[in-house]
């Protein structure tokens, strides 16, 4: 019989506890679980467990306490750690350098994130924050400008993965025109009417730019002063990807000088802190990293993470790897 692997769960298990316990009862897992009240307690427990057990797999769930999984989290688990599966802000570069797969849960979060993106797109274009503020103050339409019609408006999608494709489909149904940039151009049959552009071309031609790329060293501050300078005056910006993909100080400068008319954000460079200018402006639509907060999300995310673990156990590769540690 194959020796059971040691699996460590980080964060609350809300939907798949019985599945995990069944796998342990079947002799496939030896299960360790941590869900603490502070970050320091999380890290202390990780060190305690790793001192006595070789942990091969980490299953990470959403925790309002342990918001980032990085070197401090993973270093005590080396050199035995081989897979991290789940959701959260994960230091993928550190895992890759140390021969560890990271498998995220793109299917579970894709549709709610895409729907939230489209909501932010519409609210940003139609000046939702200022309009709602007017109603609450009793000002009605006084001082409200006319806004662009979304029909025919050019939306530039940066990153045409699963979420980007869903956003494309949803905004196309609303009559918007889609251009996109991706590291690799999609096959024509997958573009579904979207037009591929090089990155600088997309910056110049898009009336609204929405970001759907992962956070990597190459995409950190993907939008900064040089990129904003290439955009149309009065451009709209939406970000539901990762906060540091945008240089937040540069975004504020672009809003202050009128280059960016309005923005819709669900993610921020220094979460949960929000830049004072963005928080106080009525030209921003702001959400608290809320895109995936739907009532099925925990079951969907945990099930997808668990399926990644099973795939790795059976084939040596998870279903949805973000990295390839074998090429590091």
- The model's pLDDT over 135-191, given as tens digits with 9 standing for 90+, comes to 999 999 999 999 999 999 999 999 999 999 999 999 999 999 999 999 999 999 999
Percent helix, strand and coil across the chain, each to the nearest 5: 40, 20, 40
Phi/psi of residue 237, nearest 5 degrees: -125, 135
Answer yes or no: 40 catalytic.
Answer: no
pLDDT of res. 87: 85
Q: CA dihedral defined by 300, 301, 304, 309, rounded to 10 degrees? A: -140
Tokens of 75: 């270093």
% of the chain exceeding 70 in pLDDT: 99
**The Cα angle at residue 204 between residues 199 and 210, in degrees rounded to 5:** 65
d(CA 96, CA 80): 14
Residue 121 token pair: 């797109």
Query: Confidence class of residue 204 from pLDDT cuts 50, 70 and 90?
Result: very high
Closest by Cα among 14, 65, 3, 58 to 32:
58
Cβ count near 9 (within 10 Å): 22
Q: Which residue has the tokens 């795939």?
A: 311
pLDDT digits (tens, 9 = 90+) for 261-314: 999 999 999 999 999 999 999 999 999 999 999 999 999 999 999 999 999 999
- Measured CA to CA, the distance from residue 127 to residue 251 in angstroms comes to 18
- Respond yes or no: is residue 204 known to be catalytic: no
Please identify which of the residues 80, 220, 221, 289 carries the catalytic annotation.
Answer: 289
Indicate whether 1 pLDDT > 60. no
Residue 238, strand partner residues: 210, 264
pLDDT at 217: 85
Those residues whose C-beta lies under 8 Å from the C-beta of residue 230, and which sit 6 or more positions away, are 200, 203, 204
Pick the range with the lowest mean pLDDT from 1-5, 99-103, 114-118. Answer: 1-5
Query: What would the mean pLDDT of 239-248 be, rounded to a whole number?
Result: 97
On the question of pLDDT at 242 being above 80, the answer is: yes
CB 193, CB 246: distance < 8 Å:
no
Active-site residue flag, 212: no
The strand pairing partners of 184, in sequence order, are: none
- Name the active-site residue from 242, 248, 262, 269: 242
228 closest CA partner among 251, 205, 256 = 251
- Rounded to the nearest angstrom, the gap between the alpha carbon of residue 244 and the centroid of all alpha carbons in its chain is 11
pLDDT value at residue 215: 86
Other beta carbons within 10 Å of 303: 16
Pair 81, 55: CB distance under 8 Å:
yes
Q: Which residue has the higher pLDDT, 237 or 216?
A: 237
Q: SS3 of 210, please?
A: strand
- The number of CA neighbours under 13 Å toward the Cβ of 149 is 3
Given 220, 271, 275, 283, the catalytic residue? 271
| Mean pLDDT in residue range 192-201 | 98
Q: In angstroms, rounded to a whole number, what is the distance separating the alpha carbons of residues 202 and 159? A: 12
- Please check the confidence at residue 232 and state whether its pLDDT lies above 60: yes
- Give the predicted TM-score (pTM) of the model: 0.83
């Amino acid at each position: 019989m194959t020796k059971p692997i040691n699996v460590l769960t980080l964060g609350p298990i809300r939907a798949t506890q019985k599945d995990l316990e069944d796998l342990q009862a079947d002799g496939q897992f030896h299960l360790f679980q941590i869900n603490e009240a502070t970050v320091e307690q999380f890290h202390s427990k990780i060190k305690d467990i790793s001192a006595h057990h070789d942990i091969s797999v980490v299953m990470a769930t959403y925790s309002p306490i342990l918001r980032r999984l990085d070197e401090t989290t993973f270093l005590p688990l080396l050199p035995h750690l081989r897979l991290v599966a789940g959701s959260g802000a994960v230091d993928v570069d550190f895992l890759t350098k140390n021969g560890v797969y990271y498998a995220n849960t793109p299917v579970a979060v894709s549709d709610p994130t895409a729907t939230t993106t489209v909501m932010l797109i519409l609210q940003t274009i139609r000046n939702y924050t200022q309009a709602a503020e007017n109603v609450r103050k009793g000002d009605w339409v006084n001082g409200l400008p006319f806004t662009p019609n979304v029909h025919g408006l050019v939306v530039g999608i940066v990153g045409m993965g699963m979420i980007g494709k869903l956003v494309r489909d949803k905004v196309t149904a609303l009559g918007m025109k889609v251009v996109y940039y991706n590291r690799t151009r999609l096959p024509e049959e997958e573009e579904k009417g979207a037009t591929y552009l090089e990155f600088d071309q997309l910056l110049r031609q898009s009336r609204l730019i929405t970001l759907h790329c992962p956070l990597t060293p190459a995409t950190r501050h993907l939008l900064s002063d040089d990129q904003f300078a290439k955009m149309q005056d009065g451009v709209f910006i939406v970000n539901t990807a990762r906060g540091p993909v945008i240089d937040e100080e540069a975004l504020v400068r672009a809003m202050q000088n009128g280059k960016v008319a309005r923005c819709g954000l669900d993610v921020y460079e220094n979460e949960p802190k929000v830049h004072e200018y963005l928080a106080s402006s009525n030209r921003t639509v702001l959400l608290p990293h809320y895109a995936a907060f739907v009532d099925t999300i925990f079951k969907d995310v945990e099930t997808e993470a668990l399926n990644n673990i099973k795939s790795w156990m059976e084939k040596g590769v998870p279903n949805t790897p973000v990295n390839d540690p074998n090429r590091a």
